Amino acid sequence: MYCPECFQNTLKIRSIGVVKLAFNNKSRNTSLFTYNLQKETHEQLLAKLREKIVDWMSFYSEFVNKTPIKTFEAYSGDFICTNNCKIDMIKTKVSVVNVIYSAQEVKDMLKEEGQKFGVVIEVVFQ
């Protein structure tokens, strides 16, 4: 991935960090989880993502006027540049879709859980 400072293809995800989720640019305090790429299998990482999606869908399904979910973000500030650039990760959100999870896995999971909770999912990944 490209570093936002030096614009080189040198941005790498840290092996341990936090993933935050946002649905239609809104998130909850409970919409984040830690990851450890060295110790957790891909299945365990998928299970963590599903748990947080289910938690959010359960919360959102209680709303009376639900708008369809058009945007979904799974992002982290736990990236480093191999050129040692100083990156402001508080202001920088880097997606973990297609880094930790494939876009298809995320899309399928969102549609599956959306159906269970009666939430319309219209998310499109490029």
Identity at 57, one-letter amino acid code = M
pLDDT per residue as tens, the chain (126 positions): 888 888 888 889 999 999 999 999 998 999 999 999 999 999 999 999 999 999 999 999 999 888 999 999 999 989 999 998 888 877 888 999 999 999 999 999 999 999 999 999 998 765
Q: Outline where 1-126 has alpha helix (H).
A: 42-60, 103-117
Using CA atoms, how far apart are residues 64 and 30, in angstroms rounded to an integer? 21
Residue extents of the structural domains in the chain: 11-117
pTM, to two decimals: 0.89
Position 110 scores a pLDDT of 95
- Dihedral pair phi/psi, residue 22, rounded to 5°: -140, 135
CA distance 59 to 122: 18
